[in-house]
Amino acid sequence: MRGKLYKLYGINVAVELLRPGAKWEYNGHGFTKWDDERPVPSVEEVNDVMEKIRAFEDSIPTLWTKEQLEKIQKQEEEFERAVG
C-alpha cells in the first residue's frame, strides 16, 4: 500500500457536508450541474472541507491486518493494470 488509505476524503463527502442532499455534477474544474435551491459552494469551500477531512483522517492511527493490506495491494495492482 502506498501510504494512507483515505476512506472519507473526496469531493462527494465534502459537497454532502456543505450541502446535504444536493444534486450536482463536477468535471474536475468546477460544477457543471447544480440542482439545489442553495448556492453552489465555491471550489475554495470544497477544497477547504476536503483538507479538513484529510487532516481528520491523518489524525487517526489506523492499523490494518496483514490480510487487509494484501487485499488492498491486490486491488491497487488490478487498478494499475486496468488503467496502465
What are the pLDDT digits (tens) for 54-73? Answer: 999 999 999 999 999 999 89
* Domain locations along the chain: 11-83
Q: Please indicate, yes or no, whether the overall pTM of this predicted structure exceeds 0.85.
A: no
Using an 8 Å Cβ cutoff, are 14 and 55 in contact? no
What are the pLDDT digits (tens) for 69-83? Answer: 999 899 989 988 998
